[in-house]
A and B are shown apart, each in its own frame.
Chain A
Amino acid sequence: DVKVTQSSRYLVKRTGEKVFLECVQDMDHENMFWYRQDPGLGLRLIYFSYDVKMKEKGDIPEGYSVSREKKERFSLILESASTNQTSMYLCASSPLTGGYGYTFGSGTRLTVV
C-alpha cells in the first residue's frame, strides 16, 4: 500500500523553538508539498518541491523553510515557532505529471505554546 508518512501525529512546542516536521513517501514521486490547514481558511500551500534540492515558495512561506536532500523525504522547518503557527500540517506527494492528484500524509497537529 502506497504511503506518505509524517513523523509525528501531535506535537507541542514552545514559542521560539526550532521545529522540524518530517515527511517520507515510498511511491518514488517527484513532487512533494507542505500545506497547513486552518478552520475557515482551508489548505494553504507553504512550500513545494519538484526535485531533490529544489524548492519553491507557495502562498504562505513566511516563517518556514524546507529541505529536500533525498527524493523520498521533504522536511518543513519552523525557524522560530510562534503561536500563529499552531495548525494542522499536511504533507502530500504526486508523480511529476500529476497523476490522480495528491497522496496525503495523516497530518501533524502542531500546537505552539
Chain B
Amino acid sequence: EDKVVQSPLSLVVHEGDTVTLNCSYEVTNFRSLLWYKQEKKAPTFLFMLTSSGIEKKSGRLSSILDKKELFSILNITATQTGDSAIYLCAVTPSGTYKYIFGTGTRLKVLA
C-alpha cells in the first residue's frame, strides 16, 4: 500500500532556529513529491521535486529528495513566527495525478 510518513508530528522552536522536517514514502513508480504550507486556510504550494529536480531552494526554505532512500527533507533556516504552520508532504505515483498525503508536521515558532 502506498504511504507517506512525516516526522516529527509537531515541533516548537524559537525565532532564528533552523528546522528540518522529514518525509519518507513508499509508492509504486514514484513520479513527484510536493511540499505545502498550511496556515489557517488553504495549503499553499512550496516545492515540487521529481527525478529531474531533486533539490529546490526559495529564500530561507530548501528541500532535497533522495530517491534511493525514499525520503525528502524540508529545511527552514532563521525561522520567523510567520513560518508557524502545518507543513504537508505529498507523493504521486506515475499514471495518476492524485496525491497521497502524510499527516503533516505542525511547526510553531516562538518570538
Whether A42 contacts B88 in the complex (CB less than 8 A), given A98-B97, A100-B48, A102-B99, comes out as yes
Interface majority SS (helix, strand, loop, mixed), chain B: strand
Determine whether B43 belongs to the interface, using a CB cutoff of 8 Å to chain A: yes
Determine whether B64 belongs to the interface, using a CB cutoff of 8 Å to chain A: no
Indicate which residue in B9, B34, B41, B100 contacts A101 across the interface (CB closer than 8 Å).
B34
Sort chain A's interface into a size bin.
20 to 34
Contact between B97 and A94, CB atoms less than 8 A apart: yes
Contact between B9 and A40, CB atoms less than 8 A apart: yes
Chain A residues at the B interface, C-beta cutoff of 8 Å: 4, 31, 33, 35, 40-45, 48, 50, 58, 90, 94, 96-98, 100-107
Chain B residues at the A interface, C-beta cutoff of 8 Å: 4, 6, 9, 31-32, 34, 36, 41-45, 48, 88, 90, 92, 97-104
